[in-house]
Amino acid sequence: MKLMGEMLLRRESFDEIVMGNTALVRAMVEAGTQVVTSYPGSPTPEIAAAIQTISPDRRPFYFEFSTNEKVATEVAYGASVNGHLATVFFKSVGLNVAADTFVQLSLMELLGGMVVVLGDDPGANSSQNEQDNRHYAHMAYTPLLEPSSPGEVYLFYKEAAQLSRQMRMPVILRLTTHVCHAKESVHFEARPPFDAKRDPLFTVDHGPYIPLPASVAELKGRALDKLEKVRSFAASSELNTLIDHQNETLGVIAWGLPYLSLMDTLAHTTSKPDILKLAIVHPLETGVIVDFLQSHKEVLVLEELDDLVEKEIKAKAYDLGLNTKIIGKVDRHDWIGEYTPDKVKTILHKIWPGMIPDLRPPLPPSEVPDRPPQMCPGCGHRSAFHAIKQALADTDITVADIGCHTLGYLPPYEVGELLMCMGASTGIGSGLSLFNHTRSVLVFMGDSTFFHAGLPGVVNALHNRHNITMIVMENGTTAMTGHQDHAGTGRNFNTTAEKIPIRKVLEGLGVEAIFEVDTYQQKRLTEMVKTAMDVNGFSVVIARHPCMLKFTREQRRKPGFEPRQVQIDQAICSQVHACVAQFGCPTFTRGSDGSVEINPDLCIGDGSCVQTCPTGAIGMPVKK
């Protein structure tokens, strides 16, 4: 890892095979970025992992994981209006959280420049939707660049930073899952000497920085003027490229992953369309597009997710009275999912069957067994669900939040019947408690989520006297996205920090019914949940156990660590299968004769299962 840190700071130019997320960090360094903020979310956490490889004393910029995406955007904005080049990055749905601040950014003079790096997720690989954040670029008059590959991530970030600083406006660098995670050999330039001037330059003379109703029209006009300047810049930019296959009939306009998939597909065809590859996707520089339309009879806009560019191009063609046939989305399949090579091939076949005559059926499903998501061996959330289930009536309603505990919806627990987005469980649960005197409502929330967006729902439940029980699934980390610290862990990204205990926060808000228990104490947890559900009003159970994946990794690194595992005493086991059917730890497997075996590769010897066996056949962990 240290080597990566060295590479990211190297003075001279070099070539290296890197991920898109890593290439981005080198670009930040080269561009002289001074402040970087984030809240974790796939596909972006590896950006922070790369930053972490640079030792803090040599890191040329300040980095923090903020409490949520909105705060991260505000910290970056504050730095930018003080003259520092700032960057905020987060996942697709993070922009919904940041939106209230984000939509005003283009109205302000961002003195130092500010790049908003979005990790969009077509195909919803690890998100609750596949929202197309280009809509926000339109809504907030913000330029948007979209790279296809790690090499372009590097180049486009530097371009975005320069453009942003020059125009004093935010610029979005929209990445998607494949672009973040793809690897290729990238040529990196020499690192310019770092200008360490960091004087705070904020003055209202650059403003106004207060979007009063009376100034909104002027500020919006200024944003629109800047956007037009970017459009002219795009006209002269060499980022948009033409790939000339001498085809005077057919053309394709593409960018991002669809462009790569198109090139992959065309590598195997004899007839090839000309290609106009875009880089600045908003605002569209229509001059080069119009030339392209005029020199082809049919043009396909190969656009992943929504049809924004297609509509804009069709409108332009209509205004100019062009008679080029413009093809975009044909059916609903074109709106959904990632534009992988297979998908692009299918689309081309649908439109121009002559170009792709041999559309083979997709490959048969791979022989590799499925690996459905599940909680890790020893996960405290499993113990919690096992125990809490004993306290619930079938009719009770359970609302999940986002995090590892979401997996509780799976059998055998089936706890967490509704889910929306981070922090939503308390509000949704409050709604479910209205006109409801017969069914208890339990809401679940992880500790990082509690600080991220959970607090307003808690305050609301208290203020409006909602009758719900909240279970805080406290595992001491932001587990699902790779173990980032949060306000309750006692560390921030850079150093130790005062822990903000959830219990104290709740007490400060006036919550009276607070129960706390380690989730491995299953019987106590069951009783506490029953008691909490009997409270008339808002009650909380803090169900605590450290994330065992993190804990076990840390233990394994310690000298003298001895791996352990539990044992099944086959003489005692009466094959009730509670361990498999109700506790559901993946360590247990049921043989064809009904006997239960332990998978030694999975068992971490935590012993949380021992108490779940009604016949006492699971023995305490012993050395492996």
Binding site for ligand TPP (CB under 6 A): 39-41, 69, 91, 93-94, 97, 402-405, 422, 446-449, 473, 475, 477-481
Choose between 91 and 272: whose C-beta lies nearer to ligand TPP: 91
Choose between 89 and 154: whose C-beta lies nearer to ligand TPP: 89
Closest Cα partner for 576 from 607, 545, 613, 531?
A: 613
Residue 362's CB: how many other CB atoms inside 10 A?
A: 9
Residue 476's CB: how many other CB atoms inside 10 A?
A: 21
Q: What span, in angstroms and rounded, lies between the C-alpha atoms of 261 and 404?
A: 33
Residue that is written with structure tokens 């494949």 in the block = 178
Residue 256's CB: how many other CB atoms inside 10 A?
A: 28
CB of 449 to ligand TPP, least distance (A): 3
CB of 480 to ligand TPP, least distance (A): 3
Is residue 36 helix, strand or coil? strand
Please list the alpha-helical segments (H only) found in 362-481. 380-389, 425-432, 447-449, 455-463
Choose between 131 and 430: whose C-beta lies nearer to ligand TPP: 131
Choose between 488 and 605: whose C-beta lies nearer to ligand TPP: 488
Q: What span, in angstroms and rounded, lies between the C-alpha atoms of 21 and 150?
A: 7
CB of 226 to ligand TPP, least distance (A): 28
Choose between 281 and 384: whose C-beta lies nearer to ligand TPP: 384
CB of 193 to ligand TPP, least distance (A): 36
Choose between 292 and 551: whose C-beta lies nearer to ligand TPP: 551
CB of 585 to ligand TPP, least distance (A): 17
CB of 303 to ligand TPP, least distance (A): 25
Q: What span, in angstroms and rounded, lies between the C-alpha atoms of 174 and 144?
A: 7
Q: Of all residues in this chain, which one has the CB nearest to ligand TPP in the complex?
A: 446
Choose between 188 and 520: whose C-beta lies nearer to ligand TPP: 520
CB of 379 to ligand TPP, least distance (A): 9
CB 290 within 8 A of CB 296: no
CB of 619 to ligand TPP, least distance (A): 29
CB of 484 to ligand TPP, least distance (A): 8
Choose between 280 and 442: whose C-beta lies nearer to ligand TPP: 442
Closest Cα partner for 153 from 260, 23, 280?
A: 23
CB 384 within 8 A of CB 416: no
Choose between 79 and 480: whose C-beta lies nearer to ligand TPP: 480
Q: What span, in angstroms and rounded, lies between the C-alpha atoms of 565 and 544?
A: 22
Residue that is written with structure tokens 């068992």 in the block = 603
Q: What span, in angstroms and rounded, lies between the C-alpha atoms of 41 and 296?
A: 42
Q: Which residues of 509-524 are buried (b: 16+ CB within 10 A; e: fewer)?
A: eebebbbebbbbbbee
Rg (CA), the chain: 27
